[in-house]
Structure 1
Amino acid sequence: MKIKLTSVYVTDQEKALRFYTDVLGFTKKADFSNGPFRWLTVASPDEPDGTELQLAADDNPAAKAYQQAIFQQGQPAVMFFTDDVKGDYDRIKVRGAEFTMPPTEVTGSTIAQLSDTCGNLIQITQLARW
Protein backbone atom coordinates (compact mmCIF):
# COMPACT_ATOMS: atom_id res chain seq x y z
CA MET A 1 0.00 0.00 0.00
CA LYS A 2 0.99 3.61 -0.57
CA ILE A 3 -0.27 6.92 0.74
CA LYS A 4 -1.31 8.81 -2.37
CA LEU A 5 -3.48 11.58 -0.93
CA THR A 6 -4.05 13.43 2.31
CA SER A 7 -6.25 16.41 3.01
CA VAL A 8 -6.18 19.68 4.89
CA TYR A 9 -9.32 21.74 5.44
CA VAL A 10 -9.09 25.36 4.33
CA THR A 11 -11.38 28.36 4.82
CA ASP A 12 -10.91 29.57 1.22
CA GLN A 13 -9.73 27.22 -1.53
CA GLU A 14 -8.60 29.96 -3.93
CA LYS A 15 -6.60 31.74 -1.23
CA ALA A 16 -5.15 28.39 -0.14
CA LEU A 17 -4.12 27.57 -3.71
CA ARG A 18 -2.24 30.86 -3.98
CA PHE A 19 -0.53 30.28 -0.64
CA TYR A 20 0.48 26.66 -1.26
CA THR A 21 1.77 27.43 -4.77
CA ASP A 22 3.07 31.03 -4.66
CA VAL A 23 4.42 31.02 -1.10
CA LEU A 24 5.32 27.40 -0.37
CA GLY A 25 6.24 26.49 -3.95
CA PHE A 26 4.00 23.47 -4.54
CA THR A 27 2.39 22.90 -7.93
CA LYS A 28 -1.30 22.56 -8.69
CA LYS A 29 -2.03 18.94 -9.51
CA ALA A 30 -5.83 18.66 -9.89
CA ASP A 31 -8.56 21.28 -10.03
CA PHE A 32 -12.09 20.49 -11.09
CA SER A 33 -15.59 21.28 -9.89
CA ASN A 34 -18.92 19.52 -9.81
CA GLY A 35 -21.56 22.03 -8.81
CA PRO A 36 -20.47 23.62 -5.53
CA PHE A 37 -17.86 20.89 -4.91
CA ARG A 38 -14.26 21.65 -5.91
CA TRP A 39 -11.55 18.98 -5.95
CA LEU A 40 -8.23 20.80 -5.57
CA THR A 41 -4.83 19.21 -4.95
CA VAL A 42 -1.20 20.30 -4.90
CA ALA A 43 2.02 18.29 -5.02
CA SER A 44 5.69 18.81 -4.47
CA PRO A 45 7.55 19.88 -7.61
CA ASP A 46 10.28 17.46 -6.47
CA GLU A 47 7.78 14.56 -6.59
CA PRO A 48 5.07 15.56 -9.09
CA ASP A 49 3.65 12.01 -9.12
CA GLY A 50 4.04 11.58 -5.35
CA THR A 51 1.60 12.21 -2.56
CA GLU A 52 -0.99 14.91 -3.24
CA LEU A 53 -2.39 17.32 -0.67
CA GLN A 54 -6.09 18.07 -1.10
CA LEU A 55 -7.07 21.62 -0.17
CA ALA A 56 -10.56 20.71 1.01
CA ALA A 57 -13.23 23.31 1.76
CA ASP A 58 -14.12 23.42 5.45
CA ASP A 59 -17.82 23.82 4.65
CA ASN A 60 -18.72 20.77 6.76
CA PRO A 61 -19.43 21.83 10.39
CA ALA A 62 -17.40 18.91 11.75
CA ALA A 63 -14.45 19.83 9.52
CA LYS A 64 -14.63 23.47 10.60
CA ALA A 65 -14.78 22.51 14.30
CA TYR A 66 -11.80 20.16 13.90
CA GLN A 67 -9.78 22.75 12.00
CA GLN A 68 -10.45 25.47 14.57
CA ALA A 69 -9.74 23.21 17.55
CA ILE A 70 -6.32 22.02 16.39
CA PHE A 71 -5.37 25.56 15.34
CA GLN A 72 -6.33 26.91 18.78
CA GLN A 73 -4.27 24.15 20.43
CA GLY A 74 -1.26 25.16 18.33
CA GLN A 75 -1.13 21.80 16.54
CA PRO A 76 0.00 21.73 12.91
CA ALA A 77 -2.60 20.41 10.49
CA VAL A 78 0.14 19.21 8.16
CA MET A 79 3.89 18.63 8.36
CA PHE A 80 6.35 18.92 5.48
CA PHE A 81 9.92 17.60 5.53
CA THR A 82 12.96 19.36 4.13
CA ASP A 83 16.73 18.99 4.00
CA ASP A 84 17.19 22.73 4.66
CA VAL A 85 14.69 24.18 7.13
CA LYS A 86 16.63 27.46 7.49
CA GLY A 87 16.80 27.93 3.70
CA ASP A 88 13.10 27.16 3.31
CA TYR A 89 12.28 29.50 6.21
CA ASP A 90 14.16 32.35 4.51
CA ARG A 91 12.63 31.62 1.07
CA ILE A 92 9.08 31.37 2.39
CA LYS A 93 9.38 34.37 4.73
CA VAL A 94 10.47 36.60 1.82
CA ARG A 95 7.29 35.52 -0.01
CA GLY A 96 5.17 36.92 2.83
CA ALA A 97 4.58 33.93 5.13
CA GLU A 98 3.94 34.63 8.79
CA PHE A 99 5.86 32.24 10.99
CA THR A 100 4.65 31.46 14.49
CA MET A 101 7.96 29.70 15.26
CA PRO A 102 11.31 30.32 13.53
CA PRO A 103 13.63 27.36 12.98
CA THR A 104 14.01 25.80 16.42
CA GLU A 105 16.05 22.78 17.46
CA VAL A 106 14.02 20.11 19.22
CA THR A 107 14.86 16.48 19.98
CA GLY A 108 15.92 14.83 16.73
CA SER A 109 15.03 17.67 14.38
CA THR A 110 14.76 21.37 13.64
CA ILE A 111 11.25 22.68 13.10
CA ALA A 112 9.54 25.89 12.05
CA GLN A 113 5.83 26.67 12.11
CA LEU A 114 3.72 29.08 10.09
CA SER A 115 0.11 29.93 9.32
CA ASP A 116 -1.26 29.01 5.90
CA THR A 117 -3.63 32.03 6.09
CA CYS A 118 -6.57 29.63 5.65
CA GLY A 119 -7.03 28.37 9.19
CA ASN A 120 -4.09 26.00 9.64
CA LEU A 121 -0.67 25.79 11.15
CA ILE A 122 2.03 24.11 9.07
CA GLN A 123 5.20 22.58 10.45
CA ILE A 124 8.37 22.30 8.40
CA THR A 125 10.75 19.67 9.75
CA GLN A 126 14.39 18.88 9.07
CA LEU A 127 15.48 15.64 10.68
CA ALA A 128 18.81 15.67 12.50
CA ARG A 129 21.71 13.91 10.84
CA TRP A 130 23.27 11.43 13.21
Structure 2
Amino acid sequence: MRHHHTALHVTDMERSARFYVDGLGLTRLDAWTSGPYIGELYGRPNVKVKAMLLATGDGAFRLELAHAEPLLPAVDPSEAQPGTAHLAFTDIDVRQVYAKMTALGYEAVSEPVAPASGPIAGGWLVYLLDPDGNRVELIQAPGWQGSDKS
Protein backbone atom coordinates (compact mmCIF):
# COMPACT_ATOMS: atom_id res chain seq x y z
CA MET A 1 0.00 0.00 0.00
CA ARG A 2 1.15 3.56 -0.61
CA HIS A 3 -0.15 7.05 0.08
CA HIS A 4 -2.45 8.57 -2.55
CA HIS A 5 -3.54 11.88 -1.03
CA THR A 6 -4.61 13.65 2.14
CA ALA A 7 -7.89 15.58 2.00
CA LEU A 8 -9.04 18.67 3.86
CA HIS A 9 -12.68 19.74 3.86
CA VAL A 10 -12.77 23.49 3.34
CA THR A 11 -15.41 26.20 3.46
CA ASP A 12 -14.08 28.19 0.49
CA MET A 13 -12.10 26.37 -2.20
CA GLU A 14 -10.36 29.38 -3.78
CA ARG A 15 -9.48 30.97 -0.44
CA SER A 16 -7.85 27.71 0.69
CA ALA A 17 -6.11 27.25 -2.67
CA ARG A 18 -4.52 30.70 -2.31
CA PHE A 19 -3.07 29.68 1.07
CA TYR A 20 -1.56 26.43 -0.20
CA VAL A 21 -0.61 27.51 -3.75
CA ASP A 22 0.25 31.21 -3.53
CA GLY A 23 1.45 31.03 0.08
CA LEU A 24 3.18 27.67 0.47
CA GLY A 25 4.00 26.98 -3.18
CA LEU A 26 2.00 23.82 -3.88
CA THR A 27 0.95 23.24 -7.51
CA ARG A 28 -2.61 22.79 -8.78
CA LEU A 29 -2.94 19.45 -10.56
CA ASP A 30 -6.67 19.06 -11.20
CA ALA A 31 -10.13 20.23 -10.15
CA TRP A 32 -13.52 18.54 -10.55
CA THR A 33 -17.10 18.28 -9.38
CA SER A 34 -18.24 14.92 -8.09
CA GLY A 35 -20.70 12.66 -9.85
CA PRO A 36 -23.81 10.93 -8.49
CA TYR A 37 -21.76 8.31 -6.59
CA ILE A 38 -20.57 10.86 -4.03
CA GLY A 39 -23.75 10.83 -1.94
CA GLU A 40 -23.36 7.12 -1.31
CA LEU A 41 -19.62 7.43 -0.67
CA TYR A 42 -20.12 10.29 1.82
CA GLY A 43 -23.21 8.74 3.40
CA ARG A 44 -25.10 11.97 2.62
CA PRO A 45 -27.63 11.45 -0.19
CA ASN A 46 -27.89 15.09 -1.34
CA VAL A 47 -24.27 16.16 -1.00
CA LYS A 48 -22.43 17.90 -3.84
CA VAL A 49 -18.62 18.02 -3.71
CA LYS A 50 -16.12 20.16 -5.57
CA ALA A 51 -12.48 19.14 -5.21
CA MET A 52 -9.03 20.34 -6.18
CA LEU A 53 -5.82 18.30 -6.11
CA LEU A 54 -2.57 20.05 -5.19
CA ALA A 55 0.98 18.69 -4.93
CA THR A 56 4.39 19.62 -3.61
CA GLY A 57 6.99 20.49 -6.22
CA ASP A 58 8.52 17.02 -6.09
CA GLY A 59 5.08 15.37 -6.34
CA ALA A 60 5.74 13.32 -3.20
CA PHE A 61 2.72 14.75 -1.35
CA ARG A 62 -0.74 15.41 -2.76
CA LEU A 63 -3.39 17.43 -0.96
CA GLU A 64 -7.05 17.34 -1.96
CA LEU A 65 -9.17 20.34 -1.02
CA ALA A 66 -12.84 19.31 -0.88
CA HIS A 67 -15.88 21.56 -0.51
CA ALA A 68 -19.10 19.70 0.29
CA GLU A 69 -22.55 21.31 0.17
CA PRO A 70 -24.56 21.57 2.22
CA LEU A 71 -21.88 22.44 4.78
CA LEU A 72 -22.05 20.73 8.16
CA PRO A 73 -20.89 22.23 11.47
CA ALA A 74 -17.17 21.71 12.01
CA VAL A 75 -14.95 21.22 15.04
CA ASP A 76 -12.28 23.86 15.59
CA PRO A 77 -9.10 22.27 14.18
CA SER A 78 -6.92 25.10 15.48
CA GLU A 79 -7.30 23.77 19.03
CA ALA A 80 -5.46 20.48 18.28
CA GLN A 81 -8.23 18.35 19.75
CA PRO A 82 -9.17 14.70 19.08
CA GLY A 83 -10.61 14.24 15.61
CA THR A 84 -8.34 16.86 14.10
CA ALA A 85 -4.97 16.49 12.39
CA HIS A 86 -2.25 18.70 11.00
CA LEU A 87 -0.09 18.75 7.89
CA ALA A 88 3.67 19.14 8.14
CA PHE A 89 6.14 20.33 5.50
CA THR A 90 9.94 20.32 5.72
CA ASP A 91 12.99 21.43 3.70
CA ILE A 92 11.97 25.08 3.85
CA ASP A 93 13.28 28.20 5.54
CA VAL A 94 10.73 28.39 8.37
CA ARG A 95 11.40 32.00 9.33
CA GLN A 96 11.26 33.18 5.72
CA VAL A 97 7.99 31.36 4.98
CA TYR A 98 6.50 32.52 8.30
CA ALA A 99 7.34 36.15 7.38
CA LYS A 100 5.79 35.73 3.93
CA MET A 101 2.61 34.09 5.22
CA THR A 102 2.02 36.60 8.01
CA ALA A 103 2.65 39.46 5.54
CA LEU A 104 -0.09 37.91 3.36
CA GLY A 105 -2.41 38.09 6.38
CA TYR A 106 -2.37 34.45 7.46
CA GLU A 107 -2.24 33.56 11.15
CA ALA A 108 0.23 31.47 13.10
CA VAL A 109 -0.13 29.89 16.52
CA SER A 110 3.17 31.52 17.54
CA GLU A 111 6.32 32.94 16.06
CA PRO A 112 8.87 30.31 14.91
CA VAL A 113 10.29 28.28 17.81
CA ALA A 114 13.83 26.87 18.10
CA PRO A 115 13.47 23.57 20.01
CA ALA A 116 16.22 22.80 22.53
CA SER A 117 15.49 19.06 22.59
CA GLY A 118 14.00 16.36 20.39
CA PRO A 119 14.66 15.49 16.75
CA ILE A 120 14.52 19.12 15.55
CA ALA A 121 16.76 20.55 18.32
CA GLY A 122 18.76 23.35 16.73
CA GLY A 123 16.21 23.80 13.93
CA TRP A 124 12.98 25.77 13.63
CA LEU A 125 9.26 24.94 13.93
CA VAL A 126 6.04 26.91 13.53
CA TYR A 127 2.33 26.19 13.16
CA LEU A 128 0.48 28.28 10.61
CA LEU A 129 -3.33 28.27 10.47
CA ASP A 130 -4.96 27.84 7.08
CA PRO A 131 -8.18 29.80 6.33
CA ASP A 132 -10.30 27.11 8.04
CA GLY A 133 -8.05 26.94 11.10
CA ASN A 134 -6.21 23.74 10.13
CA ARG A 135 -2.72 23.63 11.61
CA VAL A 136 0.10 23.47 9.08
CA GLU A 137 3.47 22.72 10.65
CA LEU A 138 6.65 23.99 9.02
CA ILE A 139 9.83 22.12 9.97
CA GLN A 140 13.38 23.27 9.33
CA ALA A 141 15.77 20.54 10.43
CA PRO A 142 19.03 21.56 12.10
CA GLY A 143 21.78 22.21 9.59
CA TRP A 144 19.38 22.57 6.64
CA GLN A 145 20.97 25.06 4.25
CA GLY A 146 18.34 25.39 1.53
CA SER A 147 16.76 28.75 2.27
CA ASP A 148 16.52 29.35 -1.49
CA LYS A 149 14.15 26.34 -1.76
CA SER A 150 11.23 27.92 0.12
Structure 2 length normalisation: TM-score?
Answer: 0.67
Letter in 1 for 2:67: A
Letter in 2 for 1:78: L
Aligned residues: 124
Q: C-alpha displacement at 1:125, in angstroms?
A: 1.0
Runs of 4+ more than 6 Å apart = none
Which SS does the other structure have where 1:93 is aligned?
A: helix
Counterparts of 1:111 and 1:58, CA distance in 2: 32
CA-atom RMSD in angstroms? 2.7
> Given that residues 49 and 68 in structure 2 are in contact (C-alpha distance below 8 angstroms), is that contact kept between their aligned partners in structure 1?
no
Letter in 2 for 1:120: N
Structure with greater proportional helix content = 1
Counterparts of 2:10 and 2:91, CA distance in 1: 23
Choose 1 or 2 for highest CA Rg. 2
In structure 1, the gaps of 5 or more residues are none
Structure with greater proportional strand content = 1
Instruction: Identify the residue that residue 91 of structure 1 maps to in structure 2.
Output: 100
Identical-residue share of aligned pairs (%): 25
> Given that residues 6 and 62 in structure 2 are in contact (C-alpha distance below 8 angstroms), is that contact kept between their aligned partners in structure 1?
yes
Matched, 1:19 2:19: yes
Q: C-alpha displacement at 1:17, in angstroms?
A: 1.1
Q: C-alpha displacement at 1:34, in angstroms?
A: 2.7
**Given the alignment, which residue of 43, 46, 50 partners 2:55?**
43
In structure 2, the gaps of 5 or more residues are 36-47, 145-150
Alignment of 1:110-121 (within 5 A): 110-121=124-135
